[in-house]
Amino acid sequence: MKTIYERIIPLAEAEKDRVSKHTAEKKKQYEVEVEKLYHLLVRYEAFLKAQNETGTVELLASQYRERARDVVKQQIERQQLYVTQAKNQYERAQIDLKEALIEEKKFTRLQSNQLEENRRTLALVEQNQMDELALLQFGRRRTT
C-alpha cells in the first residue's frame, strides 16, 4: 500500500514539470518580442540616419520617409507594450515555478521525515524486543 507521500510526490513533480515547460515557453515568447523590438529600433535608426545624411531631397521622398518613420515609431511603441506583457508573463511563470519547486521539496522532506520516524520507531521496537528476549534468556538461566 502506498503512503500518501508516494501518491502526492509524483503529482507535485508532474506539476513542477508542467510549470517548468510553461516558464520556458514564456521565456521564449519574451525573447521573441524583445528581438522584434530590436529589429524595429534598428529600422527606425536607419530612417533617422538616412534623414540626416540626405541634405536636399525632393519633397515627396522626404514625406514618404517621414511617414514610414512614423509608422515604425508606432510599431515600436506597440512592440514595447508586447515586450512588457511578455516580461510580466515570464516573471509570473518564474514565480509559479518557484512555488512548484518549493511544494515538491516540501512533500519530499515530509516523506523523508516520515521515513526517518518510521525507522526510529522500528529500531525502538526492535531494541525493546531484544531487551525482552535477553530478559527471558536471563530468567531461564536462573531457573535452570
Over residues 83-110, the pLDDT tens digits come to 999 999 999 999 999 999 999 999 999 9
Residue 28 CA, distance from chain mean position: 13
Q: What does pTM read for this prediction?
A: 0.67
Interval 18-33: pLDDT, tens: 999 999 999 999 999 9
pLDDT for the residue numbered 60:
54
* Amino acid type, 31: E
Please give the C-alpha separations between residue 132 and each of 76, 123, 126, 128, in angstroms, as whole numbers.
Answer: 83, 14, 10, 6
Domains belonging to the chain, first-starting first, are 4-143 (1.10.287.1700)
